[in-house]
Amino acid sequence: NCDWSSDVCSSDLAIIMDGNRRWAKERGMEASLGHKQMVEEGIKEVVGAAKKLGVKYLTLWALSTENWDRDPREIKFLMKLFRQMFSKEVKKLHEEGVRVRTIGDLSRFDQDIQDSVAEWVEKTKDNQEITVIFALNYGGRDELLRAVQKAAQDLGQDELAKRKLEQAEFAQYLDTADFPDPELIIRPGKEVRLSGYLLWQSNYSELYFTDVMMPDFDGAELEKAIKELNRRQRNFGK
């Protein structure tokens, strides 16, 4: 658990895993190899570092709802990597006591990927070292729209129309209903925006942007981000 007397402590983090393609291009490599680097090395590095630093929930944005518009060859390669991720790589995380969960709309993925994800969510459900939440086919606006649809289906449109939903009640229809909101959202890769990541949940999140590309965002970089968080005075709107 977090030692709150330490200057390196945060229990709930989220990362926008940006800069994979640029990292590869800067090295004269095919852009897709940046994604490969993250699946085979980067995720393991970040998760391991987060666990050592006492992080309990780590949300990693792996594929956005907009990413499907990329070159079909890149999408095909990404699907190959997801198959690898939810077989070989997730097995390693399981051995390290990682509980795996997901947010996003998985229905767009091929059935075998959906089945693999479900299998590892079930296999790792009792692990307690750290919960790693993969955001797959995730978009903040999409999540909010799906939450409204769920609420309407659950309560009925007439009931939904005439009552005032409390924020806590609405939050139960979000993908993240079982998870705390992130204290810190990190975006490597030079971009300085959230791009719709966790629109509802980021209400009081601190933000940290860095020029370091995601494949180079290692344990030392994560520690630097958390130290920056703990230097800030946070009053949560009070």
- The question of whether 230 is a catalytic residue gets the answer no
What would the two tokens of residue 21 be?
A: 């393609």
Residues in the chain: 238
Rounded CA gap, 41 and 23, in Å?
14
Q: Which of 1, 7, 67, 137 is catalytic?
A: 67
* DSSP helix/strand/coil, 7: coil
φ/ψ (deg, to 5) at 185: -115, 125
Alpha-helical runs (H) found in the chain:
20-26, 32-37, 43-52, 72-84, 90-95, 111-123, 140-155, 157-162, 167-171, 219-231
Q: Is 67 a catalytic residue?
A: yes
Is residue 57 within 8 Å of 179, Cβ to Cβ? yes
What residues contact 96, with CB distance under 8 A and at least 6 apart?
47, 48, 51, 129
- Cβ-contact 35, 77 below 8 angstroms: yes
What token pair was written down for 55?
Answer: 């992080």
Q: Of these residues, 7, 12, 18, 175, which one is catalytic? A: 18
Q: How far apart are CA 196 and CA 189, in angstroms?
A: 16
Q: Enumerate the active-site residues.
A: 18, 67
